[in-house]
A = this chain, B = another copy of it.
Amino acid sequence: MNNQKKLVDSVTSRDTDFAQWYTDLCLKAELMDYSDVKGFIVYRPYGYAIWEGIMQFLDKKLKDTGHQNVYMPLLIPESLFQKEKDHVEGFAPETAMVTTTGYENLTERLIIRPTSETLFCTHYQKIVNSYRDLPKLYNQWCSVVRWEKTTRPFLRGKEFLWQEGHTVHATEAEARKETLDILDIYASIGRELLAIPFVTGRKTEKEKFAGAMETYSIEALMHDGQALQSGTTHYFGQNFSIPFDIKFTNVKNQLEYAYQTSWGVSTRLIGAVIMVHGDDEGLVLPPYIAPIQIVIIPIQSQKESVKLATDQLFADLKKAGYRVSVDDTSKSPGWKFSEYEMKGVPVRIEIGPRDLERNEVTLVTRHDRNKQIVKTTDVLPMMSKLLSDMHETLYQRALDHVTQHTYEAKTYDEFKAYIKQGGYVAMSISGEEAEIQIKKDTTATARVIPFEQKLITDVCPVTHQKAVQTVWFARAY
């Protein structure tokens, strides 16, 4: 293994330099590699497998709720892209453009999709005619390109992988419901798969998607106290259906513009998993997303008894549906322990000849590094509960972190002090003027307007005007 030397180097401590710790983990756990084009990364097998786990989980939920997958073209004619005014203003600076090919210069520049609203709308214009054609609940899995100036693996790239859902509805109520239903499904990715407690809510006018009436978001709090916007859903109303002329005959036999939504989550979720759960020994992967849930490490694997017990346990666990692997390479046990800790594998089982004499193995759980001696025959029966307890523990630990780092500010000084500490700070503000001032003073941005509203103060501590809503702020990635 060429990376042995790199791996045994200690990882930067996460409390010393969180940014460096993050980069170290991305590389040393072999999640990604850099490519020759800045901001474009190679998703290595271990990193891509995490994305595959997320895709599998979400794709099933989307199909179970009637959504269908499609694939739209990679390239968008510049003129088409410019049809919706706010949308083009939001994305134009970040577009990458194809202007020439091996044998001809193009007459019109083609934009690599930064998002595909314009393509979906063009298609919907052709296929939607009657309320009987609705709803259309389409989704696609693809990569998109946005020419970001500052990039970090998984968190912000010039290219990233995502899904983008685009739906068309016959009524405003139905489209609004879709926007919130998908937000619930997104939140379930955290609750059920990634062990991340997402905070959900509406975005402020300032932070909403280019072209949307309303944007909703799931936000996660990283170990360093910064927030990460982890997925968004948008209610468009008729903002796109009017310029794209998506009309249908409604039940009253009248022509009406359709109501639309769009929504997406991306490989950014991998970044969230790293920064919520990881520690100084490496990744800590929640058991339901871990590409390898259990690694078996035979000690003195040349011994027949060890080999037999290893094969048997591997076969039993695999048959039961666990993602299990055996490492019987010639590397030292100590090296292997560090390697699988670095990779955040939830359960490590060490099978050695002495333990085996007592029909026992050593089982180590990654999230708490707890070591226990268990009967060989107990491993399989205990596994389901072990993993489910681990998931709950990780979720609760992350939730405690959120709870301990969520504050209410009654004064602007309080607000500034809390923001400095890291975490979410709720404050009741008068509007966008306050939001702009806060960003200027503290770099914190409005994360969400929570669904449950209660004013903390009647007056906005920033503008001293009447407070109209409570907003959660944080510094964010």
Contact = CB atoms under 8 A, between A and B. Distances in A.
B112 A74 contact: yes
B110 A101 contact: no
Interface stretch (A90-98, A187-195, A385-393): A90-98
Contacts of A44: 70
A61 to B, nearest CB: 16
Contacts of A52: 69
Interface in A25-40: 33, 35-37, 40
Contacts of A43: 70-72
A100 B97 contact: yes
Contact of A72 (B42, B68, B104, B112): B42
B70 A48 contact: yes
Nearest to A37: B75
A59 B44 CA distance: 17
A163 B355 CA distance: 46
Interface in A313-331: 329
Interface string A90-132: 0111111111111110000110100000010011001111101
Q: How many residues of A sit at the interface, in one of the four size bands?
A: 35 or more
A251 interface: no
A469 interface: no
B129 A80 contact: no
A70 B45 CA distance: 5
A41 B101 CA distance: 19
A29 to B, nearest CB: 14
Contact of A138 (B45, B71, B73): B45
Nearest to A130: B2
Contact of A99 (B42, B97, B132): B97
A434 interface: no
A73 B1 contact: no
Contact of A74 (B1, B70, B102, B145): B145
Contacts of A71: 42-43, 48, 51, 143, 161
Interface of A: 1-3, 33, 35-37, 40-45, 48-49, 51-52, 68-77, 80, 91-104, 109-110, 112, 119, 122-123, 126-130, 132-133, 138, 142-143, 145, 147, 159, 161, 329
